[in-house]
Structure 1
Amino acid sequence: MTPTDPDRHDVVVVGGGHNALVAATYLARAGRRVVVLEAAERFGGAVASGRPFPGVDASLSRFSYLVSVLPQTLVDELGLDLELASRRVASYTPVEDRGLLVERVPGPATDASFAAWSPGDHARWQHLEERLTAFARVVAPTLTGPLPRLEDVRAQVEPALWRALVETPVGELVEASLVDDALRGLVLTDALIGTFARAGEPDLRQNRCFLYHVVGGGTGEWKVPVGGMGRVAAELERVARAAGAELRAGARVTALQPDTQGGATVTLADGSTVHAPHVLVGCAPAALPGLGAGAAVRPEGSQTKVNLVLARLPRFRSGLDPATGFAGTLHLAQGYARLDEAWAEAESGRVPDPLPVEAYCHSLTDPTILGPELRAAGAHTLTLFALHTPARLFAADPDGRRAEVGAAALRSLQAVLAEPLEDCLARDAHGRSCVEVMTPLDVEVELGMPGGHIFHGDLAWPWLAEGAAPRTAAERWGVATRHPGVLLCGSAAVRGGAVSGLGGHDAAMAVLEEAG
């Protein structure tokens, strides 16, 4: 390929997820000739909406569901026309005939709920929240610059809190801070969403997951994208095209061959090749031959998504108004002890029962995802996110285990309801209940994520290792691979994971910094 070749590119981006589109926009605006190669027929990856139920006018966020870590700086710089709405309720944790309600901005209802639930834990919970918020406010401002030095971050954090969050299993902090089992579980779930781990896991992967959940926006608040996750994908695609990036759908990459002098040659399924001095990898590295032995380690996802459309919200056994109880994150079978038991059951090859589940009713915050007739009839969407269902559970009998896990997730919800859930489910055009179950193996098929791991692998600390001396721009930004000119730009980047755009931003910044 010569410099005059019309198909020459400065940057090839493998994968067309939200991070890839972020990178493409920044680089195209900087004058780089960028091509994005996406295997699917649409862009956005897991940041997508869909209508999985025939004849039902409801746009569901089928994979990713909420936005937290996406910095406002990126939204502003990219020029995204995007509204992220706050939920009025942070969480509701029903247990049999009672429940603990926590408002997003704690007020009288939260005070009254704690007084009836666990009065002694109210002040302890508030103190823990204050400490976590202080930590988040140290880390959040660093996310859009080169990786900070561990020593610099640590110097700004209360020493005891640093040890509790970064050096010892987070379960010790939870146990030392709170007494009530349900409240402990409520806090711990932020360490387990997206990873298969126990509270006391010695490798601290649960701590790293916890950090990303509490750091978002400096407050840890998770917001609902108005119009659904598909709105996020559509806006990112719009700005990437407007910047001049070339977006190729249906362009499946089958191999990557790094060059010794930098860059790589990318081979597509049709046998064609594309070469560029910079290749950004937005897909999971394990899915792309050519990145080396380290990239071949297959990750394992551990969450199952159950998407529902309800004809109406069901009533709670506790008597709480459903419009309040379903307005935030609903915690089901997620007591602290139960979470550990469920992990042990899954580790032994069994489907946990009762199954720990989180649930989200997006339509209470954003009714626009429902068609006018559904809104008028009082319908709602509901997403159940089942923990501790690792991909290995489904290997021998994918269909049978999918049905088993789906039924277990619905039982966890039914246990706190005052009426049959079945009576509240909407029906599709064929008269079938609107229930879609997606296991990690289904996510792998739909999105090309090995093992269905939504983070492409275990998360990393968002700073340099102690004493590290980065030599390249890619190392400074946390996007380096072992090959010069081949950078990570997706969830596998040091600050990848969740809907943040940081992997794409950091890869783009590294390319531009290298050019001087």
Structure 2
Amino acid sequence: MRAASSESFSRSVYDAVIVGGGHNGLVAAAYLARAGRSVLVLERLGNTGGAAVSTRPFAGVDARLSRYSYLVSLLPGSIVRDLGLSFSVRKRTVSSYTPVVRDGRATGLLVGGDRTRESFAALTGSDREFTAWEAFYDRTRQVAERVFPTLTEPLPTRQDLRERVADETAWRMLFEEPIGAAIEESFADDLVRGVVLTDGLIGTFADAHDPSLVQNRCFLYHVIGGGTGDWDVPVGGMGALTDALAEAARSAGAEIVTGHEAIRIETDGTAAEVAFRTDDGEGTVAARNVLVNASPQALSALLGEPAPPPAEGAQLKVNMLLRRLPRLRDRSVDPRQAFSGTFHISEGYGQLAAAYAQAAAGRLPEAPPSEIYCHSLTDPSILGPELAAQGYQTLTLFGLHTPARLFTEAPDATRDALLKATLAELDAHLDEPISDCLALDEAGRPCIEAKTPLDLEHDLRLPGGHIFHRDLAFPWAEASTGRWGVETAHANVLLCGAGAVRGGGVSGIPGHNAAMAALGR
């Protein structure tokens, strides 16, 4: 094989070589370059951004969708300010809408705006659940205010974090007991319980009472973002963030090369060499530090070390473009309200438990739970002017409780069956089939695409399609985590991807923390 050319690199030894140009790698590159370090980013694909990209998935249609990740909560404002990013988010006017049929009547729960109390009362017949909702989320907001700032600091100990939370009831319900216990203690209504539980299941295959508390860890990261727990819409789509990060890194002096796949890391703890592959062959580059913005499995493979336990994703991601929003069976709610927040489908507490049990037994859920939101209602800039003028809208659907193991034997057929069943659950709450509202691409095909965990593993090399690379960890120091939660067994090799402690989601936090660890050396 011919040797790949390294002539385009500005130097033979870099202070830091970053493997992977996803958003965390770009954050690390920008911080290190701004600190005066020489930085080279090696990206396997032909573009940067990783899972946080905007693309035009439908041929001939001028709509740029956030193809994989889609909302922003965990990105600290300090990272945006530190790096001078030209990037902003918008608040959603509605938090969520959950349709349901009660006593033969189409109704639902609308959370957000000035109708929340009224909606709770209409659904449950009293103020009890609304009062419980306010108390529950007032408690999680206080936890968020105290925990979120620690995510960009050296890891606290478990006891330090407990003292910082300073609320034993909150500590028990979030950190010590399965979240299902607190939900059942706080709420009586099955639908309300389900809406609360969903934050513990996004990208996580677990029951409400799983003794491992993996659902609690997922829940925690979903309610502490920004110190408020709000999930905001990235203006211009998720690609606007990663484009801004790439520009910030380059402007600070970092070099970014695409089409360069890292294939091996050799290190003695002080100096390292990264081997890479391009279309022209293979080459190497030397570095004082290597930051790996990839999964722990990929890191082990690069180092030639035993792999960690396998990871497994459990979600269905569906992108749609509509000619118009569908009409709802619940006529008391405007579709523009219902779809601007998170639209929960088949996510009652009992429905979630049933779906988990069926999937755990190796079957697709009979009523697949999922949630939808419409980016273009809050930020129409992702649509071309003509589409926006004609009232086109985007829908992003995220399905739960569909682990990768369900797709191994007949991936395409299983994906099609799951998509059909998922859309049928949505149609049950619509006054018209969603298929009647889908736009068509230039070849006359419906504008809809579905991605299973196996698709994400193939497209993005997410192990088992796990969107967090592996199960999330509580944000405190353990014996093996190191000072920042990014350290490895090699002093000059750091993990800066979602699989780091305090990783997961579009946050930039592992990238920031790995840069701080490297600068501290």
Q: Common fold, TM-score beyond 0.5?
A: yes
The one-letter code of the counterpart of 1:112 is: E
State the partner residue of 1:278.
Answer: 289
Alpha-carbon deviation of 1:285? 2.0
State the partner residue of 1:297.
Answer: 309
Equivalent position to 2:208, from 199, 202, 213: 199
State the partner residue of 1:256.
Answer: 265
Distance across 2 between alignment mates of 1:437 and 1:114: 33
User: What per-residue deviation string (whole Å, max 9, x for no partner) do you get for residues 420-475 of structure 1?
Assistant: 2121111111111111011111111111212111111011111224xx5x8xxx82
Alpha-carbon deviation of 1:363? 0.4
Distance across 2 between alignment mates of 1:211 and 1:293: 32
Distance across 2 between alignment mates of 1:502 and 1:210: 18
Does the CA contact (< 8 Å) of 1:287 and 1:449 recur in 2?
no
- Once the two structures are superposed, the pairs formed by residues 24-63 of structure 1 within 5 Å of their partners are 24-63=29-68
State the partner residue of 2:319.
Answer: 307
The one-letter code of the counterpart of 1:476 is: R
The one-letter code of the counterpart of 1:504 is: G
SS of 1:286's partner is helix
Alpha-carbon deviation of 1:476? 1.1
Deviating more after overlay: 86-95 vs 407-416: 407-416
Deviating more after overlay: 40-49 vs 281-290: 281-290
Unaligned runs of 5+ in 2: 1-5
Distance across 2 between alignment mates of 1:140 and 1:340: 30
Does the CA contact (< 8 Å) of 2:178 and 2:209 recur in 1?
yes
Distance across 1 between alignment mates of 2:227 and 2:272: 38
Does the CA contact (< 8 Å) of 1:384 and 1:409 recur in 2?
no
Distance across 2 between alignment mates of 1:176 and 1:13: 47
State the percentage of identical aligned residues: 53
State the partner residue of 1:11.
Answer: 16
- Once the two structures are superposed, the pairs formed by residues 462-473 of structure 1 within 5 Å of their partners are 462-465=475-478
User: What per-residue deviation string (whole Å, max 9, x for no partner) do you get for residues 105-159 of structure 1?
Assistant: x52x111101101222111111101111111111012122111222122123311
Equivalent position to 1:143, from 118, 143, 151: 151
Does the CA contact (< 8 Å) of 1:328 and 1:360 recur in 2?
yes
Classify 1:83/1:292 alpha carbon distance in 2 versus 1 (closer, same or farther; 3 Å). Answer: same
Distance across 1 between alignment mates of 2:153 and 2:262: 30
Distance across 2 between alignment mates of 1:294 and 1:30: 34
The one-letter code of the counterpart of 2:187 is: L
Distance across 1 between alignment mates of 2:303 and 2:82: 31
Note if 1:318 corresponds to 2:330.
yes
Scaled by the length of structure 2, the TM-score of the pair is 0.94
Classify 1:226/1:5 alpha carbon distance in 2 versus 1 (closer, same or farther; 3 Å). Answer: closer
Alpha-carbon deviation of 1:263? 4.3
Classify 1:497/1:294 alpha carbon distance in 2 versus 1 (closer, same or farther; 3 Å). Answer: farther
Note if 1:174 corresponds to 2:175.
no
SS of 1:46's partner is coil
Distance across 2 between alignment mates of 1:281 and 1:6: 20
Classify 1:36/1:287 alpha carbon distance in 2 versus 1 (closer, same or farther; 3 Å). Answer: same
State the partner residue of 2:454.
Answer: 441
Does the CA contact (< 8 Å) of 2:13 and 2:288 recur in 1?
no
The one-letter code of the counterpart of 1:128 is: F
Does the CA contact (< 8 Å) of 2:12 and 2:286 recur in 1?
no
Classify 1:116/1:161 alpha carbon distance in 2 versus 1 (closer, same or farther; 3 Å). Answer: same
Note if 1:404 corresponds to 2:404.
no
SS of 2:13's partner is coil
Alpha-carbon deviation of 1:268? 1.3
The one-letter code of the counterpart of 2:448 is: V
Note if 1:155 corresponds to 2:149.
no
The one-letter code of the counterpart of 1:256 is: I
State the partner residue of 2:117.
Answer: 111
Does the CA contact (< 8 Å) of 1:194 and 1:453 recur in 2?
yes
Alpha-carbon deviation of 1:297? 2.6
User: What per-residue deviation string (whole Å, max 9, x for no partner) do you get for residues 51-96 of structure 1?
Assistant: 1111211111110000001010111001011110000000000013
Does the CA contact (< 8 Å) of 1:285 and 1:291 recur in 2?
no
C-alpha RMSD of matched pairs (Å): 1.6
- Once the two structures are superposed, the pairs formed by residues 228-377 of structure 1 within 5 Å of their partners are 228-257=237-266, 259-269=267-277, 270-288=281-299, 289-291=301-303, 295-319=307-331, 320-377=333-390
SS of 2:75's partner is coil
Alpha-carbon deviation of 1:275? 2.4
Equivalent position to 2:77, from 72, 81, 87: 72
Alpha-carbon deviation of 1:265? 2.3
The one-letter code of the counterpart of 1:318 is: D
Deviating more after overlay: 362-371 vs 149-158: 149-158
Alpha-carbon deviation of 1:404? 1.1
Classify 1:340/1:263 alpha carbon distance in 2 versus 1 (closer, same or farther; 3 Å). Answer: farther
Distance across 1 between alignment mates of 2:290 and 2:204: 28
SS of 1:381's partner is strand
Unaligned runs of 5+ in 1: none
Note if 1:95 corresponds to 2:130.
no
Does the CA contact (< 8 Å) of 2:312 and 2:403 recur in 1?
yes
Equivalent position to 2:491, from 466, 484, 491: 484
Does the CA contact (< 8 Å) of 2:269 and 2:493 recur in 1?
no
User: What per-residue deviation string (whole Å, max 9, x for no partner) do you get for residues 350-377 of structure 1?
Assistant: 1112100010100000011111111111
The one-letter code of the counterpart of 2:364 is: V
The one-letter code of the counterpart of 1:90 is: S
Does the CA contact (< 8 Å) of 1:262 and 1:486 recur in 2?
no
